[in-house]
Structure 1
Amino acid sequence: MGIGKGNLITFEGIEGSGKSTQLHEVYKFLKKRKIKCIKTREPGGTRLAEKIRKLIIKDLKNNEDNLTELLLLFAARSNHFLKIKKLIKKGYLVLCDRYIDSTYAYQHCEQGQDIKLINFLQNLISKKSFPKITFFIDIPVKISKLRVKGRGRLDRFDEYGEKKLNKLRKSFINLTKKHNRIIKIDGTKNKKDITIQIVDYLIKKNVIKNFK
């Protein structure tokens, strides 16, 4: 879409990867330079979708009812994308914490949900609902566990074991090889260096202008 036009930029990774931190840092960088941007998350992002998020995280148990989880995620995304679409049309850069690639990793690769069903539901929302660029913040599983442990209060996704996290990390790595829009970032680097790397890539792709 180019400079001055709206885009959907997503941030992905396993728990503790630093994706949420980087999204916030990039958001602060853009806001400081008067770029129209907004940050959001999935599941969530709207009043209704946030209510669905609570059902997914608090009321469902791991692998208890995977199809229900998938359908709830897409119900939330359908409502959320209405908001995203409007913002993109207004020229906003929408920064989203998790999106379709988390669905591929968690619901398809980890849970075994049908990829054709996932793509059907995504295209049902809109065939133009895929991100422009996705930043996959990659870290080793052992670092993930250490970071998550330091959070204190955990949800059911934070409590995933190393075996499951390794499977999810591998899924994200495979997605990076499959989709050119996904950029793998070394999440073990200095926080500021990672932010600069992300911003430089957005400049390179003409999503934002060069401020240097």
Structure 2
Amino acid sequence: MAVRSSLRCATAAAALALHHQQPAFLAAVRLRLRRIPTRRAMSSSSSAAAAAAPHQAGTWHAVPDLSLRDHRFAVPLDHSAGSTPTITVFAREVVAAGKEEAPLPYLMYLQGGPGFESPRPMEASGWVKKACEEYRVVLLDQRGTGLSTPLTTSSLSQITSAVEQVEYLKHFRADNIVKDAEFIRLNLVPDAKPWTILGQVQYLP
């Protein structure tokens, strides 16, 4: 129940606190109710993330009419602390094929949920195809989801104290997700320029 409650807080609506300049075709907000799926056990520890560089970029790979590149960021578990362990936050960069080096503005997409990773486009279609006409799209797996450091019953079971579990869960709320996005902008966008934000709003029971 604690995991579910924490992830409910981590909605993309909080990203509206970031600077954005959303074009007309992205103005619609999709509403969706979904249950938290069972995630696989934690594949890497926070200590391993701490040893990583702040930003690691993969190589470009292709799907029909799109090019994609994976990024991993070692972000603070607690952005408000002076010294803290780090966790991994994963993001996938998507551009139209042939525009890998084009000077495109960035668009950050924040998946709703709660508890779901960003889309995994296998071809140019839907809103991703439209967005890639003008933008370099960044698909963020919010902390605790997807290929980011996961938040699961399995990972929580590694923390034996209930008090420490609660303290750990507090770091997966929307406030830190927004700060993760800002960390990514500063480390990914050339000259740390402003970007556009596209997100989902979720109505929860």
Tell me whether the two structures share a fold, i.e. TM-score over 0.5.
Answer: no
Bigger fraction of residues in helix:
1
The two structures have a TM-score, normalised by structure 2, of 0.30
Query: Could you say which structure has the higher strand fraction?
Result: 2
Relative to the length of structure 1, the TM-score reads: 0.29
